[in-house]
Amino acid sequence: MQAVILVGGEGTRLRPLTSTVPKPVVPLVDRPFIAYMLQWLAGHGVDDVIMSCGFLASGVRNVLGDGSRYGLRLRFVEEPDPRGTAGALKYAEPMLEERFLMLNGDVLTDIDLTAQIAQHERTGAKATLALVPVPDPSAYGVVRLDDDRGVLDFVEKPSPDQIDTNLISAGAYVLEREILDLVPAERKVSIEREVWPLLVGDGLYGCPSESYWLDIGTPERYLKATFDIIEGNVRTPVLERLGDDYLVVDETAQVRGRAVPPAMLQRGVRVAEGAHAGSLAVLGEGVSLGEGAVVERAVVLDGTEIGADCTLRDCIVAAGCRIGERTQILEGAVLGEGVTIGAENVIAGGARIFPGVSIPDGAIRF
């Protein structure tokens, strides 16, 4: 089975994490984000994946290689200019087989693709959309189905009186190659707005699922995805590492303080006396916590040094940062790569500090 993954966006909502790293390979717990999708696809029989790239494409290719480590073949196409969801698919047309999957690369999910493909075959569909329920569909576009799961209608960002279903598109489609005949070449085309309406009543089906689904487009959702992975709320290969106690402490880590599950402390992590990591903490390779430092509900990426008596809570700290003593990073704050924060600062309230910035001692107290 073949799949096309759309990863052409710049990841602007995730900046500053994506200021220096392409969104598909931003670390998520212990592997590049897109690796979860590749491993999920391989588990459902996909053996050939085409990555449709745009922004920082070479960085994605350099990290992922040829896909062999994920049990599949991985190839790349680079749009010459942004062409939308259907335009990107059209650009990859020479590489596509008679039936294939198309996926939005921003999603973490464990939807049963095998069941979706089986329904697609059973109904003789031209396109089958994975659908998931959400508590509040008003921020999305709801999909109405008939009794046979044929798509009746799409309602974009419905008002309360228009909400008669909570099913939205999960960004995972089973497609027949003939779909490409509906897509004009060499221009920007939206599959959602320009192709699906042409297929309503003519081979377009939905496949509802109660599986886990999350669009990782913001720092808040990145943290939620991290916590859901290490708590086991979504089925991923990370569960095997976490084991029954939901705790990974690499054998090279030096923990003189505490590691509180669920948590992951990777190679070379150092936790000084009186410090603790967790619960809900991920410390990347070579991270160090000074005496009395607390990191909980937070992600700290490779090589970051955290001074004594610091508090990091509900935050994301990119690789190579330096945080001075008694500093607090709180409430959704995000530090980009290589940031230096001096002693006795308070960074909070969703503040985003971009890569390479240096803040002196006591300069900020949000």
Within-domain flag for 31 = yes
Residue range 134-148, pLDDT digits in tens: 988 877 888 999 999
340 within a domain of the structure (yes/no): yes
For residue 14, give the amino acid letter. L
Q: Is the peptide bond before 159 cis (omega within 30 degrees of 0)?
A: no
By residue range, what is the domain housing residue 131?
2-211
pLDDT of residue 42: 95
State the DSSP code for 192. I
Which of 211, 235, 264 is the endpoint of a domain? 211
Does residue 49 sit within a domain?
Answer: yes
Residue 337: C-alpha distances to residues 34, 301, 318, 334 (Å): 20, 9, 5, 10
Instruction: For residue 21, tell me if it sits in a domain.
Output: yes
Residues 193 and 231 in one domain: no
Instruction: Between 311 and 19, name the one with better pLDDT.
Output: 311
Confidence (pLDDT) at 9: 72
State residue 161's pLDDT score.
76
Nearest C-alpha neighbor of 56 from the set 84, 80, 21 = 21
Q: For residues 203 and 228, state if they share a domain.
A: no
- Is residue 203 domain-shared with residue 311, that is, in the same domain? no
Same domain membership, residue 134 and residue 105: yes
Highest mean pLDDT among 41-55, 160-174, 248-262: 248-262
pLDDT digits (tens, 9 = 90+) for 25-79: 899 999 999 999 999 999 999 999 999 987 556 778 888 889 999 999 999 988 8
Nearest of 254, 251, 284, 243 to residue 266 by alpha carbon: 284
Write out the two tokens for 124.
């003789």
Split into its structural domains, the chain has a count of 2
- Following DSSP, what letter does each residue of 207-223 receive, concatenated? EE--S-EEE--SHHHHH
* Percentage of residues in the chain having pLDDT higher than 90: 77
Give a yes or no: residue 23 inside a domain: yes
Provide the β-strand partners of residue 104. 6
CATH number for the domain spanning 328: value is 2.160.10.10
Per-residue pLDDT, averaged over 159-175, amounts to 88
- Tokens representing 355 are 């890569």
Pair of tokens at residue 342: 């001096």
CATH of the domain at 45: 3.90.550.10
pLDDT tens digit sequence for 174-212: 999 999 999 998 889 999 989 999 999 999 999 999 999
